Structures are given as structure tokens and as C-alpha cells.
């Protein structure tokens, strides 16, 4: 089964070329296509992604859920693999995902590690080993078979934040045993922690997850989260 990689972007010129080239080098013939779906970047993200060899499409609607759904509509592979632009999957990711599918899993993710040696961030890394919703997130990447993605109607575009959590919650309700956490690590940028303290980010995450579980409107969650953090 071939794999389509879908990368939602917004102002990611610093990361996109390296990621696309890395995916091409690691993917080989099993890589169906790499789709960069942009949400209206004001930098050279789209130009650089296209030059690196990715298929670039502009989402008619901004927002990660909408962008990932739109990108999926261009996928030609039987497996969809969603990756953030500042993350890098481990070497051999194609074999990992194909092996998981052969084992009977229909979806899954990796653990992650930050590109930082800070002690507190190592705690975050370790927690991604746990098979609980609060330890999951889009940074860990997500693979899912096309039939299951379609059966779930993709990402719910109502969620302008927490879209991965919503999809996983629906997926786990349907068949949690079909989800695999591959015991390898995606390397994730620690840039959020470069401009915020570890404690500030954890509190913001806790507030966002609590509001999500209480059924708060995603727009309110997003506004609250952005007020609590500084971004580069």
C-alpha cells in the first residue's frame, strides 16, 4: 500500500524544504505523493515546497482541519500520513507504517522527542509512550487508511483547534484496538518553548484540554490558548 504525505502549512519557509527532501529520500517508491496544503502563507513556503518537489495546493479555507481535509482530496495513496511542517518522522517510517497496516492496524502515530536537551522537555517526551488521549497530539504525526478516514468523514472543520484530538476520540470510540503507537520517535521543534516557559505551555495545554472535554466552542479554546502563549 502506497502512502500519501499531507503537510498543512502557514509561514513555514524555514522548515518545508528540509522536510520535503527528507521525505523523498526516505519514502522511495512506496511514497505516492507529498502534498503541501497551504493556508495563505505570507512568506515563501509554497514557492520553496514546489521547488523541493512537493505538490502544492492552496486551501480555500484556512485552518489545520480544513487544510488537511483539502490536502487529502489530492492524495493518491491508500494510506494518508499527516505531518506538521516542523516535525520529522524517524528513518524507515514507510516500513513502520506499512508493517503496522499488515499487522491489522488501520491508524496510528509515533512517540515524539523535542529537538532540545532541556530536562523538563524529556518528561514530555516520555509521556508520549502512554496510550491516553491527553498524551497524543498532531506533533506525533498520524497515519490512517483511506477507507477509515472517509468513514470518519475526515477532520471536523468545526474544530479550529484540537482537531487531532477530536478525530482520535471518534476513532477510538469506533475501534481503539485499530490504533498503534509505534515505539519510535518523531523529532519535533521546541520553538514554542523557546518563547514560553515550560510551565506556561503546560498550563495552556491543560486549559485547552479541559475546555475541549467540557465541550467549549473551539473558537473560544483557540482564543484562550493564544492569549496564554507567545509565538515566534
Interval 116-140: pLDDT, tens: 989 999 999 998 998 888 888 888 9
What is d(CA 73, CA 4) in angstroms, rounded to the nearest whole number?
A: 11
Residue 2 confidence (pLDDT): 96
Residue 212 confidence (pLDDT): 94
Residue 35 confidence (pLDDT): 98
* Model pLDDT for residues 77-102, shown as the tens digit of each residue: 999 999 999 999 999 999 999 999 99
Mean pLDDT across the chain, nearest whole number?
A: 94
Would you list the DSSP string of 84-152? -TTEEPPTTHHHHHHHHHHTT--EEEEEEEES---HHHHHHHHHTTS-SGGG--GGG-EEEEHHHHHHT
Placement of cell 482520535 in the chain: 168
Residue 154 confidence (pLDDT): 97
Mean per-residue pLDDT for 21-44? 96
Which three three-digit cell numbers place residue 99?
A: 508493517
Residue 25 confidence (pLDDT): 94
The set of residues, in sequence order, having a beta carbon less than 8 Å from that of 137 and lying 6+ positions away, is 112, 164, 165
* Model pLDDT for residues 7-21, shown as the tens digit of each residue: 999 999 999 999 999
Residue 230 confidence (pLDDT): 79
- Say what percent of the chain tops pLDDT 90: 87
User: Is it the case that residue 168 has pLDDT exceeding 60?
Assistant: yes
What is d(CA 226, CA 208) in angstroms, rounded to the nearest whole number?
A: 10
User: Is it the case that residue 231 has pLDDT exceeding 70?
Assistant: no
Q: How far is CA 59 from CA 38, 65, 71, 163, in A?
A: 6, 10, 8, 16
Nearest of 56, 38, 40, 67 to residue 160 by alpha carbon: 67
User: Is it the case that residue 232 has pLDDT exceeding 60?
Assistant: no
Tell me how crowded residue 202 is: count the other CB atoms within 10 A of its CB. 14
3-state helix, strand, coil in the chain (%, to 5): 45, 20, 30
**What pairing do the DSSP bridges indicate for beta strands 31-38 and 3-9?**
parallel
pTM of the model: 0.94
Which three three-digit cell numbers place residue 221?
A: 479554546
Residue 4 confidence (pLDDT): 98
Residue 194 confidence (pLDDT): 86
What is d(CA 110, CA 90) in angstroms, rounded to the nearest whole number?
A: 9
User: Domains plus CATH for the chain?
Assistant: 3-189 (3.90.550.10), 195-232 (no CATH)
Element (H, E) at 15: none
Amino acid at each position: 500500500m502506497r502512502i500519501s504525505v499531507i503537510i498543512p502549512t502557514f509561514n513555514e519557509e524555514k522548515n518545508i524544504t528540509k522536510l520535503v527532501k527528507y521525505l523523498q529520500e526516505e519514502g522511495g517508491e512506496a511514497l505516492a505523493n507529498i502534498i503541501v496544503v497551504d493556508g495563505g502563507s505570507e512568506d515563501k513556503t509554497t514557492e520553496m515546497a514546489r521547488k523541493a518537489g512537493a505538490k502544492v495546493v492552496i486551501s480555500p479555507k484556512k485552518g489545520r482541519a480544513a487544510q488537511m481535509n483539502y490536502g487529502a482530496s489530492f492524495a493518491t495513496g491508500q494510506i494518508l500520513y499527516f505531518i506538521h511542517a516542523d516535525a520529522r518522522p524517524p528513518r524507515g517510517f514507510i516500513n513502520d507504517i506499512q508493517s503496522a497496516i499488515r499487522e491489522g492496524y488501520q491508524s496510528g502515530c509515533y512517540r515524539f522527542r523535542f529537538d532540545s536537551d532541556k530536562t523538563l522537555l524529556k518528561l514530555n517526551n516520555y509521556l508520549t509512550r502512554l496510550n491516553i488521549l491527553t498524551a497524543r497530539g498532531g506533533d506525533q504525526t498520524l497515519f490512517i487508511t483511506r477507507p477509515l478516514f472517509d468513514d470518519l468523514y475526515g477532520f471536523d472543520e468545526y474544530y479550529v483547534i484540537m482537531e487531532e484530538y477530536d478525530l482520535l476520540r471518534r476513532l477510538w470510540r469506533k475501534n481503539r484496538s485499530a490504533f498503534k503507537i509505534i515505539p519510535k520517535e518523531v523529532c519535533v521543534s521546541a520553538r514554542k518553548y523557546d518563547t514560553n516557559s515550560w510551565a506556561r505551555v503546560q498550563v495552556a495545554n491543560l486549559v485547552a484540554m479541559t475546555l475541549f472535554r467540557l465541550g467549549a466552542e473551539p473558537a473560544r479554546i483557540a482564543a484562550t490558548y493564544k492569549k496564554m502563549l507567545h509565538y515566534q
